[in-house]
Structure formats: structure tokens, C-alpha cells
Amino acid sequence: MESSDREDRADAPVTGNAAQTLLDLEFTNRFTADLPADPESSNARREVKGALFSRVAPTPTSAPALVAASAECAELIGLDPAETQTEDFARVFSGNGLVPGMDPFAMTYGGHQFGHWAGQLGDGRAINLGEVLGPDGHGWNLQLKGAGPTPYSRTADGLAVLRSSVREFLCSEAMHHLGVPTTRALSLTVTGEQVMRDMFYDGNSKLEPGAVVCRVARSFVRFGSFELPASRGEVHLIQGLADHVIRTCYPELVPDGTPIDKGVYLEWFKEICQRTATMVAHWTRVGFVHGVMNTDNLSILGETIDYGPYGWLEDYDPNWTPNTTDAGGRRYRFGHQSSIAHWNLTRLASAIVPLLEGEVEGLQEAVDAFPKAYADEWGRQLGDKLGLAAFDEKRDAPLAAELFRVLELAETDMTIFFRALSDVTSDPAPLHAAYYTPDKVGSDAREALEAWTQTYLARVGQDDRPTEERHAQMSAANPLYVLRNYLAQLAIDEAEKGSYAGVVELLDVLRNPYTEQPGREQFAGKRPEWARHRPGCSMLSCSS
């Protein structure tokens, strides 16, 4: 779709809820307008200094075709969902054409990976198409993942395979419908080309179908976006980027054009800490494990970003990580995610010290307050999961601690357990459905569950609320359907054979994760035994 294809029209902003075509999208592109660009125009891998992005075009592919699209995400950016089924849509969002107004670029950033400074990283396989002004008045950035090399691709090819792209597309939308702060996904396309990948980095490379995901977010800026210029002493870049993020994504901090000063920067950082605490508490609520919480994979907006080797807890195990790269140290295990978020926030605080002109006390106080912010948010969400009128730390923390101890005594599905908990009225029988091998559960585990259930029912009784009210509260906090790895793998298996029905159906199921869907009971079941150790169902790598 070339620029000349678009007829001239009034340059009015998008307002209201009118659905539009691709040609009607209004691009604002504030990131490239506000911030310094790389003066070098070649797409050669290199170190980029003194700039926050490089302009680069997606690489065309041979046979782009749509796998699936999110109608809700299309409406978010002001696009008629019917437009996602057109040929032009598949071309544009696979990197084979640009809509007039797009200004494609790749961001530069650094990061701490597995606790170690990695230097310059950047969008090695992601190309931002531009920022669209949506019907809600917000700017939404469109980003293609897997659309070809950029100056930040290092030794990689900038491409992505169908296997990982299905997972990213589905999880982005699944998390949104679960109520977890997240970036979104507009579309998943195949490219018609094959990409060589070594899934577990063990010398067994093979060709896989290539694919592209269009991700959507108000901003794709990460903690590492500030760390890289900080490591180089480029204070003007830190300030320019911070000012851009505050004015575009935190406008409530600068009403009526308020100047940005030290006080604003500190309030901004406090808000990032709170949003990050809320996000990780939601991860804990639904049993999600990110898998690779490097500082370049944490959003400055407190939204889940970069869906790589993620997973959902099936049997409750706080030490589980889905990432094969992390199998030894388990740095990013489920029960450690809030601590890692805290550590990452200290790295961000260090990077933005120049904005506070050396006055670090406020930053330190904000970082130190994070554990309590997380505990308070997790306590609130746990109270909802347990059906309590309010979670009282002193009274209810022992009850919660004993519950999680009991869950570890036998292989117990976390999602199924909490969903069934609202049905318990006198004994734990409904909870036995969460056991993976009920006939092998010992008497110690059963007795502990029985004792905990009686304590729990007594506690619930103290609230003196109607059972229906408690049930509704718990059903809204405890999902019935989550994107279990084996479900994603089944959809991937079909997609790699050319059938996308599984992806489309799974997307539809995940739109309503808290509501029973007759005829779809199989999507709420425990992990089958065949999936216990199968690649893609148990452990995953960063290979994509």
C-alpha cells in the first residue's frame, strides 16, 4: 500500500467510536517527532550513540497471510474489525507495505539480563510502524515483531517463527481479558517463508514457518531504555525520554502544561513502582510466570511486555520457571518475581538519578516502599481469590501461608483449586478435582487440606455475607480458562500444518476467562500426562 493510494482528507484527530479503514488511521508519531534519531540511515548492525532510535523499514516477505486478529484491539486503535480480514491488512501487518503517515523505526536500549549488564540491546526483531490516535484520545504504538533485521539485531536475523508468535499473540490478548496490565496484540500473520531456529540451543536446528505479530501499546519504552544512556552519561537523552513518557503516558502528572521538575520526576517514579507492584500481583493472582524479567523486558508503564518463555503454574510450585535458560539458577521463578521487580526498579532508579540532580533520598524511599506496595496489592487480590470481604494482614496472612503450604504437599492444579474453592461449603471434596493423581495423595496432605478448609470456612463465616456474593467475588478473581502451555502447543501444532482454526478458537475461549463456556470444558482441564515433559508444554527457551 503506497502513499499515493491514499486520497487527501482533512487532518482532523480521530475521535468518537467510528470504526475506520486502514487509510483513515491518524498517525501522530510523537516518539520520532520528540526525540533524537540515529543520523546513520543504513540498516547495518552497529552501536548507536546519541540517539534513541533508528529509522528502518520492515523486510518484505513472499506470501503474507492472516492467521488471526483481535477485534477488540482493532477497535482500540479505531479500526473496523472487518478491515482485519482484508488483503491490505495482511500486507501491512506482515511488513509488506506502509500506510501513509507511518514512520517505521527501531528503539535502542540496554538492560541487565539475568542480573548482568548486557550493554546495548535494542529492538533486534521489532519495528515500530508509528503511533495511532485512537478513539479514546490515547496514542497507540503499532509494532511488528519478526519483520526483519534492524541495527540492533546483532548476529540475529530479526525474524520470528510461528511457534513463538502464536504464543505471543494469544498471551497478549489472554492477559488483557484476565484483567492483567499488558501490551496488546492486533494480529498474527505468516510470511510464507521458512526460518532456521535451534529451539533449545542444542545443535538441532530446523526450518520453521516464519510469522509476524503486531503488538500494540501506549509505549514500548522499557527500564533499559534509560539504563543505556545512563551508562554512557547521555543525560540529555535520559531527560528527553523521561519528558516524552511523562507527557504522553502520564499526563495526569503535568496538568495544563505544568513544567516537569524534580518533583514531577519523583512522582513519576513512584507511580512506576506502584504500577509494577500491581502488575506482578496480578501475575501472582492468575499463576503467571514471565520467565525472563530482564530490565529490558519491564515496561515503563507497568504493563506485561515481551512474551517469551512464559508459563502458567499448573501444579503449584513457587520455584517453577518455564525458561530452560534459567533452569539452573531459577532467578525468574514464580515465587521470586516480586523480588526481581524490586531489583529491577533499583536499576531504573539509578539510571534516572541525574533527573533528581543528585537528590536520591526520594528515589530510595520509593524503592524501599515497593515490597509493602506489592504486599498490599497482593493481599487485596488474594482476599478476592479467597472470597473475603477484606484481607487483613494480621488475621489472614497465617491462613494464606498455610494454604500455600498445603498446595505443595501434593501435586495440585492452582487454577482449578481456586476456581473450585467457591463451591466448598462444608468439606474439601470439591477441591480434590485439582489433584493430578488423586489416588497417590497421602493421608498427611488430605488431613492438612481438611484442617485448612475448616479454618477457612470459619474465617469466611466471620464476614457474615451471602454465599452468592462470595461466589461472585471469587469467580471474578479466579479464572476458569488460562493459556496453559499445552493448549498453546496444540494450536501451534495445527497452525504449523496450515490450519489456524485452533488459534482462532483458543483466542475466542480466552476472551471470557471467568465465564463457563458450555462445550469447551476441555480448555479448563488439567495438563494431560503426555504434556508433562513435552517441549513447548513444560519448558521453553528464548528461541523465537
- Please name the residue that has the C-alpha cell 524503592: 367
Residue 296: active-site member:
yes
Chain centroid, CA 237 distance in Å: 26
Which position among 103, 123, 296, 326 bears the catalytic label? 296
Q: C-alpha distances in angstroms, 237 versus 19, 152, 231, 245? A: 37, 18, 11, 12
Selection from 282, 480, 458, 515 nearest residue 381 by Cα: 282
Q: For 137-259, where are the E strands, in sequence order?
A: 139-145, 184-197, 206-217
Selection from 47, 58, 223, 21 nearest residue 119 by Cα: 47
Q: Which residues of 11-33 are buried (b: 16+ CB within 10 A; e: fewer)?
A: eeebeeeeebebebbbbbbbbbe
Rounded to the nearest 10 degrees, the angle between the axes of helix 370-386 and helix 337-351 is 150
CA atoms within 13 A on the CB side of 465: 15
DSSP character for 23? G
Chain centroid, CA 364 distance in Å: 27
- The set of cell numbers assigned to 378 is 497482593
Q: C-alpha distances in angstroms, 401 versus 91, 288, 423, 453? A: 52, 19, 21, 13
Edge-to-edge strands, sheet with 184-197: 53-55, 105-107, 126-133, 139-145, 206-217, 184-197, 65-69
**The amino acid at 112:** H
Q: CB under 8 Å to 3, separation ≥6 — which residues?
A: 98, 100
What residues form DSSP beta bridges with 131? 141
Q: Which residues are catalytic?
A: 296
